Amino acid sequence: MQKKILGLDPGLAILGFGVIICEKDEVNFSSGSVTLQDFGVISTPAKTPVEQRLCTLYDDLHIVIEQFQPDLVAIEKFFFYRMSSTILVAQARGIVMLVLGQHRLPIVEFTPSQVKLALAGYGKAEKCEVQEAVARELDLDYIPRPDDAADALAIALTAWFQS
């Protein structure tokens, strides 16, 4: 049974995405394979008005979903930071959730510590440890760049491990 998972790392300046194709062995359900389909980012320029940046995220995320036709979307769960960008990230995440709802896609959410635990084995792993695990799990000889795309792939892999 094949499943395509889209991982999303929401942000206003950069929204990371990663698409993996997972194949479960129907005889031995605990085994299977995962392959990378694509990854990248949707970027919005800092000097552009916020409303236009949100429109860019809206339009470009529709394109990503139409292009890859995911079966499941995994997204980083938002929790509050003590930073000035919290509201902007929340607005971007709202746009992402709207687009996913419009496409009626099933969604799973993971906290950063859940992703770290799933990929590196403990919830306080360093970013580089998670990125190395992404490369290893996807059988890549490089760490996907930029970091936001690697994070999106880590979120997608977490969904795969939880299925």
The catalytic residue positions are 9, 76, 148
- Which own/partner contact pairs does 31-37 have at CB distance under 8 Å and 24+ positions apart? 34/137, 34/138, 34/157, 34/160, 35/138, 36/138, 36/140, 36/153, 37/4, 37/68
**Alpha carbon distance 76, 118 (integer Å):** 13
